[in-house]
């Protein structure tokens, strides 16, 4: 499970609120994300991919 102190300190650092009752929800979501991230290890060349970003061509050209 995700360390509660990481969550508390991370939120405080960003001046975001922390409610003790939110803790299990946040832990659960971060844990889901962390577990799901493991699927990316099946693709060792993922870092060769350029991230998809929203680029407004009318501003860039």
Task: Using the minimum distance from each CB to another protein, give the nearer residue, 46 or 61.
Answer: 46
DSSP string of 4-60, one letter each residue? HHHHHHHHHHTT----GGGHHHHHHHHHHHHHHHGGGGG-TTGGGSPPP----HHHH
Q: How far is the CB of 23 from another protein (least distance, A)?
A: 9
Binding residues vs another protein (CB under 8 A)? 6-7, 10-11, 14-17, 19, 21-22, 25-26, 28-30, 32-33, 36-37, 39-40, 42-43, 46-47, 49-54, 56, 58-59
């Amino acid at each position: 499970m995700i360390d509660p102190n990481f969550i508390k300190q991370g939120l405080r650092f960003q001046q975001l609120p922390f409610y003790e009752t939110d803790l299990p929800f946040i832990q659960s979501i971060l844990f889901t994300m962390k577990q799901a991230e493991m699927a990316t290890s099946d693709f060792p060349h993922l870092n060769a991919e350029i991230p998809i970003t929203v680029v407004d061509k009318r501003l860039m050209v």
